Chain A
Amino acid sequence: MPLPLLSALRVVAATLMLGCFALGAQAGLTWETLRIAQTAPAGATEVVGLYRFANTGNSPVTITSLQPTCGCTTATLDKRTYAPGEAGEIKATLHIGNRVGLQEKVIQIVTDAPDERPTTLVLAVDIPELLTYVPRLLHWKKVDAPDWKSALLNAGTALSIRTITLAPPSKEVLTELEAVEEGRSYRLKIKPAVAGQPINVTVAGTAVLADGTKVPFSLYALVR
């Protein structure tokens, strides 16, 4: 490689390294973790994650924006401005509602630290589905014969099903419940009572798990 080009490359490399040092020296907030993963306790209505941080820079840092990307998540702070060396924490709360399964909620943090890109905090919560349905909706066309169709009700976690009972069904459908694997899997069979009539019925019931937790469930039968 020609010498002038080599010299030029050395200058560029040195500039880049100095630039990185300069950026490092100005760094604002340092986070203990950017991702918190939890499993929601059964019956919980909300799950909280605490994101601790410290100002490791040379100047005060103000958190100018704290934005969850889901309305189901709230994020709060005690104060906005942190002096060099000062620590703080962001409390992120996921309101569970009727959510199930793995929920990954994001909170975007923006500060006034120079050259600092927005920080993304992730709250990953596994909400156990105590009972699963396969499927939850059974439908027939009006012209179809009103044959039996079935859905499987399965224990969603290690907790087995102690009892499972159906609420008195609507007169528009007939129902049968049988165990496929006692404590783990049950088949709910449904058929329209009368052929050709449109129906929209909710078949409800309650499963009691091994630890006494009552899990209400509902499936839907449609004839359209």
Chain B
Amino acid sequence: MKMILPRSAWREATALLLLALVPALATGWGHPLRPVWTWARPAVPEVALAALKPMAATVLWVDARPAEAYVSGHIPGAIALNEDEWERLLPSLLSVWQPGQRIVVYCDSSDCATSQAVALRLQRELQIETVAVLRGGWKSWQEATHR
């Protein structure tokens, strides 16, 4: 066993394992795209635009931004739904949503929490499970379509 796993190999492996800790800690401290620390998993999963490509035709987009932002531009086919006018806007969503259809909620970018709030409320009030939030929001859509 010693010949198959000599001590020198373990030493090298340990050195590499320890060496990687240094930039890892630096990443956790200062990387602009470091994950946000929480003890609990986010209630609503985040999904990147690229991952949605196989199912793009069947997804129902929900725009959680204020009304002015929606009017000035939104993902084609997106339904506006925000907490300012939840009661007025909810019936519009229900008039197009098919039970089981995946809903993806977006707001401006990764920095806004509005899409999580709207997605959580859809889960809680309507018990719709197939809800996710678009990582990068409207900004990521614009970047992808202007490429």
| Whether chain A touches chain B in the assembled complex (some CB pair under 8 Å) | yes
With A200-B94, A220-B91 already in contact, the answer to whether A135 and B84 are too (CB < 8 A) is no
Contact status B112-A218, CB under 8 Å? no
Partner of A139, one of B95, B99, B113: B99
Whether the Cβ atoms of A222 and B87 lie closer than 8 Å is no
The answer to whether A34 has its CB under 8 Å from any CB of chain B is: no
The chain A residue with its CB closest to the CB of B68 is: A71
Q: How far is the CA of A72 from the CA of B146 in the complex (A)?
A: 29
Expressed in whole angstroms, the Cα–Cα distance for A99 and B87 within the complex equals 10
Residue from B84, B94, B111, B113 in contact with A137 in the complex, judged by beta carbons closer than 8 Å: B94
CB distance from A131 to the nearest CB of B (A): 12
List residues of A (202-224) whose CB comes within 8 Å of B's CBs: 202, 218, 220, 222, 224
With CB as the reference atom, state the residue of chain B lying closest to A99: B83
For residue B83, which residues in chain A have a CB less than 8 angstroms away from its CB? 72, 97-99
Asked whether A69 lies within 8 Å of B111 as measured between CB atoms, the reply is yes
In the complex, identify which listed stretch (B12-20, B31-39, B48-56, B125-133) lies at the interface while the others stay far away.
B125-133
Interface string of A65-95 (1 = CB under 8 A from B): 0000111100000000000000000000001
A141 interface hit (Cβ, 8 Å): yes
Interface size class on chain A is: 20 to 34
Q: Is the CB of B99 within 8 A of A222?
A: yes
With A135-B127, A137-B126, A141-B99 known to touch, is A222 a contact of B84 (CB < 8 Å)?
A: no
Interface core residue of B90, B94, B95, B114 (most chain A CB under 10 Å): B94
Interface residues on B, range: 20 to 34
- The SS class assigned to the A binding surface is loop
In the complex, A220 Cα to B127 Cα: how many Å? 12
The verdict on A133 contacting chain B, using a C-beta distance below 8 Å, is yes
Is A97 in contact with B126, judged by CB distance below 8 angstroms?
A: no
CB distance from A120 to the nearest CB of B (A): 13
Chain B positions within 8 Å of A69 at CB level = 111-113
Q: What's the least CB distance linking B139 to chain A, in Å?
A: 15
Q: CA separation between A169 and B146, bound complex, in Å? A: 48
Question: Quick check: is A162 within 8 A (CB to CB) of the other chain?
Answer: no
Pairwise interchain contact B112-A97, C-beta atoms closer than 8 A: no
Alpha-carbon distance between A206 and B140 when the two chains are bound, in angstroms: 42
Smallest beta-carbon distance A90→chain B, Å:
20
A-side contacts of B126, CB under 8 Å: 135-137, 220
Q: Contact check, B94 vs A71: say whether CB atoms are below 8 A apart.
A: no
- Asked whether B125 lies within 8 Å of A71 as measured between CB atoms, the reply is no
What is the distance, in angstroms, from B24's C-beta to the closest C-beta of chain A?
23
Some 26 contacts from A to B, beta carbons below 8 A apart, are A69-B111, A70-B114, A71-B65, A71-B66, A71-B114, A97-B84, A97-B85, A97-B86, A98-B83, A98-B85, A98-B87, A99-B84, A135-B125, A135-B126, A136-B125, A137-B94, A137-B127, A139-B99, A200-B94, A200-B95, A218-B87, A220-B91, A220-B126, A222-B94, A222-B99, A224-B99
